[in-house]
């Protein structure tokens, strides 16, 4: 039996010993890994930890607020929330190529993060949520298609040039162990069981051009889908689920009138490793309910389709 408490105690004393009186920067993404790292750090060194969260304007509805509530209000962490929405949306204006989206977002993320990190005096360390599979992957032993087909970037991958010494308390753990650790540390269930969310966020789910209005439509539809998944118990039975706003308008009828509005796709998959995935066989009446709600409640959407492609040959994300 793996003794979580022993791991926690050992990790905390290792962090304290390594850090001394210096400060540690911790990038928060809203996901499980970085939250667990932050919780460990806060337990170990409290106010010596400085958490940075970059709001790139490409997050799901309520995401930034959830992070603020948890880390600033509940943990009383030194939380540096950077509102960089304008910077990101300006940079992405007229960018519709998926790889260019990723590159642009990755570049600006590092710039914004660097700038904020410089404002924290005596910061010598950077804590990252690197997991064991990431360690193997960067060592070249495993070169998965997900790593090569799309240029990935996330909070876990800040460049060495930032000049910090790294603290990677999760580098011996697998994802399920990180979740158990999160439970043991008292993180909310909702956070511990969160599906992965890509670093480029809604940018790769808002196909084609990204505008504030299109992101808003996507957020509203996505919120309905997630809410229904959670209420029905399907959230835990899927590995990842989200809405994609298509770069397509289609004809519809409303009352006596003709509409010409957006189509969205629902995507839900089951997978163990995200290298291959099966589309989730959600019940038809459940899909019908979601479709009706989205079309009734989200202005600008008049059509909902369900993605029934598996990976490979399709990928999980559409871009
Ligand atoms: P695909 O679409 O390649 O996705 O089947 C596999 C997994 O990777 C996630 N993903 C990303 N994660 N930055 C990330 O941090 C990215 O650019 C990125 N692209 C895809 C995707 O959500 C899925 O979990």
- CATH at 248: 3.30.300.10
Asked if residue 157 has its Cβ within 6 Å of ligand 1, the reply is no
In a domain, 37, yes or no: yes
Domain range enclosing 40: 4-192
Ligand 1 atom nearest residue 311's Cα: 5
In a domain, 315, yes or no: no
pLDDT at residue 128 tops 90: yes
Radius of gyration of the CA atoms of the chain, in A: 20
Number of H helices, E strands in the chain: 11, 9
pLDDT of residue 141: 40
Between CA 265 and CA 205 the distance in angstroms is 10
Q: Looking at residue 181, which CATH number applies to its domain? A: 3.40.50.620
CB 196 within 8 A of CB 240: yes
Residues 157 and 219 occupy one common structural domain: no
Residues 172 and 209 occupy one common structural domain: no
CB 264 within 8 A of CB 248: no
Ligand 1 atom nearest residue 277's Cα: 5
In the listed set 157, 192, 227, which residue is the last one of a domain according to the structure? 192
pLDDT of residue 135: 84
To the question of whether residue 34 is assigned a binding role by annotation, the answer is yes
In a domain, 302, yes or no: yes
pLDDT of residue 103: 96
CA–centroid distance, residue 198 to ligand 1 (Å)? 5
Ligand 1 atom nearest residue 314's Cα: 5
Phi, psi of 115 (to 5 degrees): -60, -45
Asked if residue 196 has its Cβ within 6 Å of ligand 1, the reply is yes
Interior angle at CA 236, CA 182 and CA 265, nearest 5: 120
DSSP state of 216: H
CA–centroid distance, residue 201 to ligand 1 (Å)? 9
Burial class (CB in 10 A: 0-12, 13-18, 19+), 159: exposed
pLDDT tens string 29-75: 999 999 999 999 999 999 999 999 999 999 999 999 999 999 999 89
Between CA 87 and CA 233 the distance in angstroms is 38
- How many independent structural domains does the chain possess? 2
CB 211 within 8 A of CB 227: no
- Least confident interval from 5-19, 161-175, 238-252, 259-273: 161-175
pLDDT at residue 149 tops 70: no
In a domain, 319, yes or no: no
In the listed set 192, 215, 232, which residue is the last one of a domain according to the structure? 192
ipTM above 0.95, yes or no: yes
Give the mean model confidence (pLDDT) for residues 101-126. Answer: 96
Query: What 3-state class would DSSP assign to 261?
Result: strand
CA–centroid distance, residue 238 to ligand 1 (Å)? 16
pLDDT tens string 180-197: 999 999 999 999 999 999
CB 215 within 8 A of CB 206: yes
pLDDT of residue 147: 43
CB 271 within 8 A of CB 239: yes
Residues 83 and 180 occupy one common structural domain: yes
In a domain, 197, yes or no: no
Asked if residue 153 has its Cβ within 6 Å of ligand 1, the reply is yes
- Least confident interval from 133-142, 201-210, 215-224, 265-274: 133-142
- Least confident interval from 127-136, 154-163, 308-317: 154-163
The confidence band for 110, taking pLDDT boundaries of 50, 70 and 90, is: very high
Residues 82 and 220 occupy one common structural domain: no
Residue 143, number of CB atoms within 10 A of its CB: 9
Name the average pLDDT for the chain: 93
Residues 29 and 114 occupy one common structural domain: yes
pLDDT of residue 258: 95
Per-residue burial over 235-257, b = 16 or more CB atoms within 10 Å of its CB, e = otherwise? beebbbbbbbbbeeeeeeeeeee
Give the mean model confidence (pLDDT) for residues 101-107. Answer: 96
pLDDT of residue 161: 73
Q: What's the sign of the alpha-carbon dihedral 46, 40, 169, 113?
A: negative
pLDDT at residue 277 tops 70: yes
pLDDT at residue 95 tops 90: yes
Residues 159 and 241 occupy one common structural domain: no
pLDDT at residue 140 tops 60: no
In this prediction the pTM is 0.92
pLDDT at residue 154 tops 60: no
In a domain, 318, yes or no: no
Asked if residue 200 has its Cβ within 6 Å of ligand 1, the reply is yes
Between CA 122 and CA 195 the distance in angstroms is 34
Between CA 122 and CA 14 the distance in angstroms is 19
Query: What 3-state class would DSSP assign to 315?
Result: coil
Give 155 or 19, the one with higher predicted confidence. 19
pLDDT of residue 144: 40
Residues 187 and 209 occupy one common structural domain: no
pLDDT of residue 139: 58
Between CA 7 and CA 25 the distance in angstroms is 22
CB 51 within 8 A of CB 77: yes
pLDDT tens string 210-237: 999 999 999 999 999 999 999 999 999 9
Between CA 23 and CA 42 the distance in angstroms is 11
Residue 190, number of CB atoms within 10 A of its CB: 10
Residues 188 and 214 occupy one common structural domain: no
pLDDT of residue 155: 52
Residues 231 and 254 occupy one common structural domain: yes
In the listed set 163, 192, 221, which residue is the last one of a domain according to the structure? 192
CA–centroid distance, residue 314 to ligand 1 (Å)? 12
Give the mean model confidence (pLDDT) for residues 162-171. Answer: 93
In a domain, 200, yes or no: no
Residues 114 and 70 occupy one common structural domain: yes
Residues 227 and 126 occupy one common structural domain: no
Q: What's the sign of the alpha-carbon dihedral 103, 104, 109, 115?
A: positive
pLDDT of residue 83: 98
Ligand 1 atom nearest residue 154's Cα: 15
Residues 61 and 87 occupy one common structural domain: yes
In a domain, 119, yes or no: yes
């Amino acid at each position: 039996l793996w003794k979580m408490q022993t791991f926690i105690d050992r990790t905390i004393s290792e962090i304290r010993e390594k850090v001394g009186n210096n400060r540690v920067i911790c990038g928060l993404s809203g996901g499980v890994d970085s939250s667990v790292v932050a919780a460990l750090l806060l337990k170990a060194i409290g106010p010596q930890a400085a958490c940075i969260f970059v709001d790139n304007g490409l997050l799901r509805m309520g995401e930034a607020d959830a992070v603020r509530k948890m880390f600033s209000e509940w943990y009383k962490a030194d939380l540096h929330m950077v509102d960089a929405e304008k910077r990101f949306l300006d940079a992405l204006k007229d960018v519709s190529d998926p790889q260019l989206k990723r590159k642009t977002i990755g570049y600006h993320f590092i710039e914004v993060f660097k700038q904020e990190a410089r404002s924290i005096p005596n910061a010598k360390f950077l804590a990252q949520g690197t997991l064991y599979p990431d360690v193997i992957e960067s060592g070249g032993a495993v070169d998965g298609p997900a790593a090569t087909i799309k240029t990935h970037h996330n909070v876990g991958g800040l460049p060495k040039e930032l000049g910090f010494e790294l603290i990677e308390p999760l580098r011996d753990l697998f994802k399920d162990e990180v979740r158990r650790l999160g439970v043991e540390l008292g993180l909310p269930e909702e956070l511990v069981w969160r599906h992965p969310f890509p670093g480029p966020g809604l940018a790769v789910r808002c196909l084609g051009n990204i505008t504030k209005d299109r992101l808003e439509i996507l957020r509203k539809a996505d919120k309905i889908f997630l809410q229904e998944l959670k209420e029905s118990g399907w959230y835990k039975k899927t590995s990842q689920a989200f809405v994609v706003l298509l770069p397509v308008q289609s004809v519809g009828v409303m009352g006596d009138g003709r509409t010409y509005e957006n189509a969205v796709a629902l995507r839900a998959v089951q997978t163990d490793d995200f290298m291959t995935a099966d589309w989730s066989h959600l019940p038809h009446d459940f899909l019908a309910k979601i479709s009706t709600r989205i079309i009734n409640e989200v202005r600008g959407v008049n059509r909902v389709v369900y993605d029934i492609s598996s990976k490979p040959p399709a990928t999980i994300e559409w871009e």
